[in-house]
Structure 1
Amino acid sequence: MVAPDSAQKEAPLLSGSQTVKSIRDTGYKGTDYALAELIDNSFQWGDANTVLLVIVQRKVQGKQRAAKRVDEIWVIDDGGGMTDEALNLALSFGGSGRYDDRSGIGRFGMGLPQASVSQCKRTDVWTWRRSQPENASHTYLDLQEVEDSAKKVALTVPWPTAPSSPDYVALPDWALDVFKEHAVPDTSMGQPVYSGTAIRWTNLDKLRWVRAETMFTHTEYLLGRVYRNFLTSDTRPRSIKVAVMEGDTLGGPDGFQDVRPNDPLYLHPVPATTLEYWEAAAEVDGDRYIRVTDEQPFVEHYGSRDFVIQRPDGKGTSAVHARLSLAKPQARPGRNPGKDTHQGRHARDNSGISVMRADRELVLEKTLAQEATDRWWGVEIAFDPSLDEIFGVTNNKQDAPYLTQALRLAREHHLTKDEAIDEGLFDEQHPIAELYDMAYQLVVLVNQMKLEGKNEKQAATRARGAQPAVTSVASNVKKTRAAVSPTPGEADYSKNKPDPGKAAETIEQKLEEQDVPAEIRGAIIANYQRGVTVQVIDRPVKQAPAFFWPDEALNLEFLCINNAHPAYESLIGPLRVSNEAIEEMSEDEAKRLLVQSADAMTWLLLAWARFENEHRTSPLLGKIQEIREGWGRRLAEYVEDQAFKAASLFDGEDETQDGESSA
């Protein structure tokens, strides 16, 4: 490097107070997320068992009237405390000696100062090790002092002071009392001693909520979700306790409430979580719902998956574990459960993919949660910090942008990884390339759950007999015909015998070429993988004159019914009625439905008859009649096969054979 001459002056790398002002706006989503950063320090670096969060509220005079406002926020833990050197570094940006430690939830060295200045102008920190909290060392970060001194001296964090210093700021008595009430002392040396840290935020100018009760509600909701694995650990459960303090009065140590876990997959017992209760469908004074307080979770587990990802440090691979859940029908009572029920409103704020890093939620990713009904499925993916660069983890631990991009590309383009690279959506060296296969499969899985849980009727299909968007109509006729007169797809399948994964990929590609929506494709593939090889699909194609059309992909046959055709609502719509709706019909309504069904069948035959009559003098007549007779023979085979299966079922035999299901 060439040294500057006397006329040159190099600019400082950091511009003092302006840098701190910029950091204030670098982005915590809210006060709750900033508090989570402090709790990370308590659990990882402090190894705390208990964290106390105290929200101090005082009456403040506004322009028009006096009102209660949050005036201070305290975070107190019973962790290991810090040395004076560590305390001094803790308030400097990037000064942590733990930078790039991959052993836990922290790593970046920015948490305490960055989170603090995002909410307030003054941060005080006390810490003590194997001593009494009265002997704590103290230091602080005051943004007003930073601004006043920036032009005069280099910016530094004040060296910690001890109680003997004339400048020492002592912990208030109430803080000493609540700490000793909740901390477990070390009595190994005879006299009880303690370790811990206390952080106070004052001059609060960037809070998301200014009323203590509102802050408590929203903070519990987020902290309960972020730290749910810590709060429910079987080996070492941790606790976060919150108290609202009015002025200088704390309602005694018993004024603390435990933060309850908030499980976005709803697999924990309901009364022990922030959900508290779920509502069952029951009429009370009209159309309201009663509270049900039993411990039955309102979702059923939908399975789990492991995805293997290459580590960026070249040290092999690391597994990303995914869990999935889907709401049970009884969790969604009423016509509009998302709007009208307690669990619907709760689940709305928990919708998306919960991304867990080192047992702590990083972000609730919303890319696949686009509709109101997306609150009824849940996905959790968990990875360890060795994959931080692959996920693009931000230094405030609020986002995983590379995962977001991979999910968005998979959702919008429906391409395999190789196809996406060929299209130039990303480079094979980009971290997205490592995440894309997982993202693609997550999109498929979520689409399957969306299809099943689109509304209460679809979620309860098996229990209530409602028609789904994809119907399986398996029959022994297919097996017989495949051996006697195979279709081109069946012949191709028999000749090449592709493995199940390759066959499913080929079928999905064919369905995509036919513009079958992703959620329908997901359901078809799921059915195919269960052995169903005849499926009926409702497809709206307004410009098509055909009421239906057949197609195939390998050994999968599918019949598309055009539900945008003018005849659909008259012919098929009335027949797609759930058992529940039928039970509610009067006798006259049921009779009308039967008559309409018989008329619908007649209209279908009349349409064919008219078509054939129009070709009475055409040379095509013979071929048309031949097609009609061939179709009649196939119809007879299917009807006879269904009659045989019904008789077998009446005799006690199983309805399904060889992995195929009958509609």
Structure 2
Amino acid sequence: MLGLRMSKVTAIRRGNTTGSPSDTSIIALDRFIQSTRDSGYKGTVSAIAELVDNSLEASARRIDIHVRKSTAGDDFEVSVLDDGTGMDAGTLTEALRFGGTTRFNSRKGLGRFGMGLPNASLSQAKRVDVFTWQSGESPITSYLDVDQIVSGTLSAIPKPIRHSLPSFAKGKKSGTLVVWTRCDRLDHRRVSTVEKRLHGGLGRIFRHFLWAGTVITLNGKVIEPVDPIFLKTSFGDGSAKRFQETITVEVATDPENPSSSVGQVEILFTELPVAEWHELSNDEKRSRGIANGAGVSVVRGKREVDFGWFFMGAKRRENYDDWWRGEIRFNPDLDDAFGITHTKQQIKPKDYLIEALQPIIEDTAKALNSRVRQKHLTLKTEKTGVEAEKLASRRHDRLRPIPKMKTQSGDTRALADLAGRHARVKEAITDKTPATKYLLVQDEQDNGAFYKPLVTDGVLVAVLNSSHLFFRKFYEPLVGQSGLDPAKASHVINLVLLAATRAEALMNTKDERKTLTKFRKEWSQVLDALLRS
């Protein structure tokens, strides 16, 4: 938890509330302790996360958290027990001091400032007791008590004494137990609500540790990792996929010093499965963390320190941005660049870091937004085609039968390729039901034609070329109901007819004319049959 260090503890003089000029102490202790309770931590989750940080620094592999109603009234008690290396008396004393640490300004772990244990604890409770023991030794304990400090009966860290663990704690070979009592500042007054917030918050903050095998429990239940970028989360109906490869950016730890070391920032992006999840209910989208979840997770040394709309420049947040995520990873040597404070719960990036990261993240965010927008539009246009597909399937047996013919090898390859990109095609060609299936599929094609028919036993696919101008200027705006002007629509239809006439004029042999005449007649009859309701 904290490195070995022995130091003599000197008392900080209490502020003279009568205003006597004889008191020249730097800190008015009674006022300081009350003021510091209101500073720093966003809430209960971030305060308890600070204790988990300490446990991880002490090489803990299991951390047990309990939140319970006090037996002595309506107050709450919180305890955090770990199996870390434990502390000796000198280190325990340092741990309870504001600023007391043997790792001050260290860039090698989760801690750095020595404010965590006392500041986090007293932000939530009026008293904190710490029990700690090393291998082969009995526990020692000391404490801080707000009421005693304010009244003047406690002005220095009490000397650690030997003491057995509370009855609810099961001792381990070594470890530390932190107990908060008289918890007057927890975010919620119901244990179940506190549990819910802690499961989600701690599961997210420490997800990388949990994936690596660390066990954190809350009231006996294991805290599961929560992945805000959905890369390791599967709901059985789809999961996120990486967008491009991880980007690595080198940033100087001190840009004013040419000889300073260089730290690395890793950036990765993911795309959520729009096709599989877009029709989920709003409640389900909120439950999964999709709705209002846009942004990037900032991870310092495997621990999340913030989540938000960072390094986006002029890119404004939109609803489409709920469908992609980002993660920025860095090591503590870049703390100054990210503006990390002692609470490790937010970033305030420096200008030079913004200059390095913003162009990459902003451009990628715009590209992802565009991709998501296009996916939603494609789904919308495909949905309008479903009724047409169903109608064609129902009328299939009323039309002249399609002659049996050997499937062309080119069509087989094209269908297999299409099935790899479109789940609907794969489902259709593997479906063994006797009904003939019609599909309208939008896909980027490089053959120049607006559409291409692909036919196999029991499946007819009209592949619409989404890169064709007719698709982009007419078909997509029309079926997507995006405000296509009627005059423009009629103009495009007229051009289609003229283009067809012009194309036929190039087919001037007898056999070509005969084939085209047969095609126009058959197409017109089928169209007539499908349009009759």
Q: TM-score, normalised by structure 1?
A: 0.54
Partner of 2:479: 577
Q: Aligned ranges for residues 20-169 of structure 1 at < 5 Å?
A: 20-44=33-57, 46-57=58-69, 71-131=76-136, 135-149=138-152, 155-163=155-163
**CA–CA separation in structure 1 for the residues paired with 2:151 and 2:375:** 62
Aligned partner of 1:205: which letter?
D
Partner of 2:165 in structure 1? 171
Aligned residue for 1:238? 214
Matches within 5 A, 1:483-562: none
Q: Is the 8 A contact 2:381 2:479 kept in 1?
A: no
Once residues 463 and 238 of structure 1 are traced to their aligned partners in structure 2, the CA distance between those partners, rounded to angstroms, is 46
Q: Which residue number in structure 1 is paired with residue 325 of structure 2?
A: 378
Q: Is the CA contact 1:453–1:459 (under 8 Å) kept in the aligned structure 2?
A: no
**CA offset digits 1:364-400 (Å, max 9, x no partner):** 1235583344322110000111111111111110111
Where does residue 309 of structure 1 map in the other structure? 251
Residues 93, 110 of structure 1: 8 Å contact kept: yes
Conservation of the 8 A alpha-carbon contact between 1:121 and 1:202 = yes
Report if aligned partners of 1:351, 1:364 keep a CA contact under 8 Å in 2: no
Deviation at 1:339?
Answer: 1.8
Q: Which amino acid aligns with 2:202?
A: L
Identity value in percent: 28
| CA offsets 1:610-650 (integer angstroms, 9 cap, x no match) | xxxxxxxxxxxxxxxxxxxxxx99xx99xx9xxxxxxxxxx
Separation in structure 1 between the aligned mates of residue 381 and residue 24 of structure 2, nearest angstrom = 70
Q: Distance in 1 between matches of 2:261 and 2:205?
A: 29
Instruction: Show CA shifts across 1:95-119 (max 9, x none).
Output: 1111111111111110000100110
- For residue 299 of structure 2, what is the amino acid of its counterpart? M
State the Cα deviation string for residues 167-196 of structure 1 (Å, max 9, x = none): xxx4222212xx45xxxxxxxxxxxxx100
Q: Distance in 1 between matches of 2:217 and 2:364?
A: 37
Cα distance between partner residues in 2 of 1:268 and 1:122: 39
Aligned to 1:364: 307
Please, what is the CA RMSD of the aligned residues?
A: 3.8
| TM-score under structure 2 length normalisation | 0.66
Deviations 1:406-441 (CA, angstroms, capped at 9, x unpaired): xxxxxxxxxxxxxxxxxxxxxxxxx31233131222
The secondary structure found in structure 1 opposite 2:126 is: strand
CA distance in 1, matches of 2:194, 2:248: 37
SS at match of 2:94: helix
Which of these residues, 239, 249, 264, is aligned with residue 298 of structure 1?
A: 239
How many Å separate the matches in 2 of 1:354 and 1:329? 20
- d(CA) in 2 for partners of 1:113, 1:25: 13
The secondary structure found in structure 2 opposite 1:12 is: coil
**Given the superposition, is the C-alpha separation of residues 130 and 575 from structure 1 closer, same or farther in structure 2, using an over 3 Å criterion?**
closer
Matched length = 393
1:600 to 491, 497, 501: 491
Q: Kindly indicate whether structure 1 or structure 2 has the higher relative contact order, using CA contacts under 8 Å at least 6 residues apart.
A: 2
Indicate if the aligned counterparts of 2:306 and 2:347 stay in contact, CA closer than 8 A: yes
Which of 335, 355, 359 is residue 298 of structure 2 equivalent to? Answer: 355
Given residue 217 of structure 2, which amino acid in structure 1 is its aligned partner?
A: K
Amino acid in structure 1 at the alignment position of 2:344? K
Supply the AA of the counterpart residue of 1:397.
K
Q: Quickly say closer, same or farther: Cα 1:464–1:22, change in 2 above 3 A.
A: same
Are residues 269 and 353 of structure 1, via their aligned partners in 2, closer, same or farther at CA, if it must alter by over 3 Å?
Answer: closer
Q: Equivalents in 1 of 2:331, 2:35: separation in Å?
A: 30
CA distance 1:58–1:145, change in 2 (3 Å): closer
Say which of 8, 18, 29 aligns to 1:16.
29
Residues 292 and 319 of structure 2 are in contact (CA less than 8 Å); yes or no, is this contact kept in structure 1? no
1:362–1:398: 8 Å Cα contact kept in structure 2? yes
CA distance in 2, matches of 1:59, 1:375: 44
Q: Distance in 2 between matches of 1:440 and 1:452?
A: 18
8 Å CA contact 1:353–1:366 kept in 2: the answer is: yes
